[in-house]
Structure 1
Amino acid sequence: MLGISVSFTSKVEDFVAHDGPKLSYTHKQLGDEMHINAVDLLFEQGIMDVDIQVQDWEGVPCFFASKNIDAALPYDIFGATFYLLSRYEEYLPHVKDVLGRFPANESIAYKHKFIHRPVVDIWMLRFKEMLLQAYPDSLQKIATFKIGVIIDVPQAFAYRKIGFLRTLGGYGRDFINFRLKQTFNRTQVLLGLRKDPYDVFSWLVNVQKQATTRFKLFFELGDYTEESKNIKYSKRSFQSLIKMVGDYSCVGLFVSKSASQSITVLKEEKKRIEQITNRPLKQARISDYRITLPYSYRDLLDQEVTEDYTMGYPDTPGFRASTCTPFLFYDLDYEIQTPLLLYPFCIHVNAIINSNNQTINRVSFEAIRNTVKEVNGLFMVAFSNADFINIYSKKIFRTLITTDE
């Protein structure tokens, strides 16, 4: 994260003989070097229950307290960071939600009330200050605050191009449930008297032309099921839409539920989007945030996907991995760092809009945005194309794209 080149040694004699800047990460300090007192976590194999005691360090939560009073930091910054970024707690026994996912309220960040803060980035900045005091000439990269917008497209059109049988079934359901307004809207769209409510793509492209932030849109290309209701991927009009959007914004795959459970289906969906875009697939998001570690990410790696944008909670604003900086996925079972880069998002727009009283939780929105700006991180917000029916989603969207980076 700091961009500093380092070399490692486990030989005490080589470490002692080194004349330049050096830092020991051990249970015991070796000399007068800068020292981080290590807990056992990074020296262990396998996954074990870990005792977490969260403490306050000058206003910032931390854990894995140091037993050495001469240590440079009062806790093990490397062990604590690894615990959060590897999502260690998601491998341990926990209560899943109704969709079988790891819920926000099971996380240490939620339980100890620091889910709204990217504590890893805050720790990193304090570590940076410590290094600069000890080694003023150490080279470090300068991070800048960035804004990211991701838009899911699980269903490109609400009424158009969905086929005769589905249209007929839609009219039937509206009639049975006395949804007269929806029947009227459907009829107007099909007669060409108004635009399909989900069809916001021309508007997005026009906004994209003026925006400095490049949007990322994720299209679902799965077969029709009860949970996957996009139009058929082979329709030329749908393929033309994806190509048109891809000329201005980044296009990725919105992995369907079936594909998230079957590597064979995932392979087929990857093939479909690559044939449409004529580009290798690099970016993906998993529908309904059905991440099961490490298997979900292993499947993406198997298909040579290099970027994932699912790391976050759909119903709780905050930081699932306690960071607003992209990081490489570490497979705890195999004990390897993988080439899959995880881009964390911190807000799904639906989590800060109250549909009942038609309000936006701007306090949470601004608080999270400001804390990301303080650490020069990535402020990533997630939408779906259907969200733009809501005027409040559009307000948040405009706030993002008009904000100076």
Structure 2
Amino acid sequence: MIIVFSDKKSPRLNYILSRIFNDILGVEVYFTFDEEEFLASTLPSINYSAKNMQKGVWIVPHTLLYSSGISRQKTEPISSWKNMPVFFLQEQGDIPFDMFAASFYLITRYEEYHSTALDNHGRYEYTDSIIYRMGCIQEPIVDQWAYALKDELLKLYPECTFTPRKFRFIPTIDIDHPYLYRNKGFIMNLLCLMKDLTGRKFTVFRERLLTILHLKEDIYFNFESLLQLYRTEEVKGLFFVHRGPYGKFDRRYLYPSRRYRKMLRRISQEHAVYIHPSYIAAFNNLQFCKEKMELERVLNHKVEGSRQHYLRFRFPETFRQLLAADIKDDYSVLYSNQYGFRAGTSIPFPFYDMEIDQETKLTIHPSSIMDVTLLRDFKMSPKEAFNKIVEIAEKVKAVNGDFITLFHNSSLADTAEWEGWERMYSEMIRKINITK
């Protein structure tokens, strides 16, 4: 157990110390606001105050954790500590920055509240993030700070024991489009076939026609091979299912499929199946609940997890919407066009609603890498993507975090755009699973 002295009470301080010590480092923390009790204690100690007590690790507080509400924070200048970039610098103390305030700022996504610098889909831009400006967006920097603090404590208290969590690998699949060719209706199929012919796309024409006539499996309907891969490698995955209406940014088939519903029930017997709300449901609570109930009817059980389509979300509205819909776990926190750690951590954390200064029961699971990002934004080949995925996985493993990948069933299909990615995915699963 570690004793932490603070001369002020704060729900924000309670929250972030629980994340750092309980969740990341695996050690109990005891708070005291009594200076005499702190000085008399024989426990490993951290002094989180402006007063130098000549005891334990001294961290001088920034004002953030003792504030309420949301206001613009000055994060510059940026400096370095133990070869890691840091902000919220302090002139005094054993550590040259307020690690607790900086970690809180990143994990709660403080900078995203009321942000107006959004892209065309209403998403926060990664280039506006402090960890991007610090050059550490590809590092689980909060976790790394925590482990560096652990080293400082062990220098003073070598008897201090930690029980860190174990590294977990969680492959996830977003099912935006279960079909490439089927279930589009006679008129749409006819128009697509004519377009293939006039465009002299004879290979696509043949593929489409054979699939429509049920003489060949639809290449997006590759769930059996995914299930077999997961069984062979003994991994548990997550599947996020789109149940919204047809639309520009939503599903591309018109008619429901009894076979697809049956497959979803099969998948749910071995892996968790969660909701992937439609584009229009991102900020529409009624539509979200409708889609969630539709998926629950298909699966015949309650759905408690979610990932936003197009990764469209806002703090705090989206997460309040999830809580209202009885969602317990969200996997949306990553950037669509940049791999890395949006919240600076690889370890799940409870959503903290900054506007009401309250920890909630919704757990956010930060993902770190997505197939579309690697191919379309960074133009990576399958081999380059494999190397980058393994590199990020090793960083997560070093801090005993959760390495969560986001792939789509459509990117694991045999198409010209995604040629070689299915093979790469299988090799990636084996590689990371072996090194767990």
Under a length normalisation based on structure 1, what TM-score does the superposition of the two structures give? Answer: 0.92
Q: Counterparts of 1:32 and 1:205 in 2: how far apart (Å)?
A: 55
Q: Would you say 1:50 and 2:73 are equivalent positions?
A: yes
Q: Which amino acid is 1:398 matched to?
A: S
Residue aligning to 2:59: 36
| CA distance, structure 1, for counterparts of residue 217 and residue 379 of structure 2 | 25
**2:157 corresponds to 1:135:** yes
1:319 corresponds in structure 2 to 341
Give the Å deviation of 1:170: 3.1
Paired residue for 1:265, among 279, 287, 293?
A: 287
Aligned to 2:31: 8
Contact 1:94–1:106 (8 Å) recurs in 2 = no
Counterpart residue type for residue 107 of structure 2: L
1:118 matched to 2:131: no
Give the secondary structure class of the aligned counterpart of 1:35.
strand
Instruction: Report the identity percentage.
Output: 27
Which runs of structure 2 are paired with 1:3-402 in the superposition (5 Å)? 3-30=26-53, 32-52=55-75, 53-68=77-92, 71-91=93-113, 93-174=115-196, 179-229=201-251, 231=253, 235-353=257-375, 358=381, 360-362=383-385, 363-389=387-413, 390-402=418-430
Question: Amino acid of the residue matched to residue 289 of structure 1?
Answer: L
Contact map agreement 1:37 1:66 (CA 8 A) in 2: yes
Kept in 1: contact 2:239–2:272 (CA 8 A): yes
Equivalent pair of 1:212/1:401 in contact (CA under 8 Å): no
Letter in 1 for 2:406: A
Q: Secondary structure at the match of 2:205?
A: helix
2:206 counterpart letter in structure 1 = F
**Superimposed CA distance per residue, residues 342-380 of structure 1 (whole angstroms, 9 cap, x where no aligned partner):** 111111112223697855434533432222222222222
Provide the secondary structure at the position in 1 that maps to 2:273. strand
1:272/1:139 CA distance change after superposition, 3 Å: farther
In the alignment, is the contact (CA less than 8 A) between 1:317 and 1:364 conserved in 2?
Answer: no
SS in 2 for 1:353: helix
Give the Cα–Cα distance (whole angstroms) in 2 for the partners of residues 357 and 308 of structure 1.
28
- CA deviations 1:253-277 (Å, max 9, x no partner) are 1111121121011111111112222
Give the residue type in structure 2 aligned to 1:370.
Answer: E
Q: Kindly state the Cα deviation for residue 172 of structure 1 after the two structures are TM-superposed.
A: 5.0
Indicate the SS of the match to 2:150: helix
Q: Distance in 2 between matches of 1:118 and 1:247?
A: 33
Deviation at 1:188, TM superposition (A): 1.4
Secondary structure of the 1:181 match is helix
Q: Is the 2:87–2:97 contact (alpha carbons within 8 Å) kept by the matching residues of 1?
A: yes
Distance 1:357 1:336, change over 3 A: closer
Q: Which moved more, 1:124-133 or 1:81-90?
A: 124-133
Q: Determine the C-alpha separation between the residues in 2 that align with 1:356 and 1:373.
A: 26
Show structure 1 runs of 5+ residues with no match. Answer: none
Shift of 1:179: 4.1
Give, in angstroms, the shift of residue 251 of structure 1. Answer: 0.7
Q: Bigger shift: 186-195 or 19-28? A: 19-28
One-letter code of the match for 1:237? R
Does the aligned pair in 2 maintain the 1:27–1:39 contact within 8 Å?
no
CA distance in 2, matches of 1:87, 1:185: 46
Report the TM-score, using the length of structure 2 for normalisation.
0.86
* Alignment check: 8 A CA contact 2:45 2:55 kept: no
Q: How many equivalent pairs are there?
A: 403
Deviation of 1:77 after TM superposition, in Å, equals 0.9
Question: How many angstroms apart in 2 are the aligned matches of 1:142 and 1:232?
Answer: 48
CA offsets per residue over residues 75-99 of structure 1, 9 Å max, x none?
Answer: 1110010011011111254521121
| Aligned residue type for 2:210 | Q
The question of whether the paired residues in 2 share the 8 Å contact of 1:174 and 1:180 is answered with yes
Is the contact between residue 222 and residue 233 of structure 1 (CA under 8 Å) also seen in structure 2? no
Deviation sequence 1:66-120 (CA, Å, 0-9, x none): 221xx23221110010011011111254521121111221211222211111111
Using a 3 Å threshold, how does the CA distance of structure 1 residues 357 and 215 change in structure 2: closer, same or farther? closer
Q: CA RMSD in A?
A: 2.3
Which amino acid letter does the alignment assign opposite residue 137 of structure 2?
I
Alpha-carbon shift at residue 189 of structure 1 (Å): 0.8
How far 1:142 moved relative to its partner? Answer: 2.6
* CA-to-aligned-CA distance 1:127-176 (integer Å, 9 cap, x gap): 11222333334342233332221110011111123333442343355456
Matched letter for residue 329 of structure 1 = F
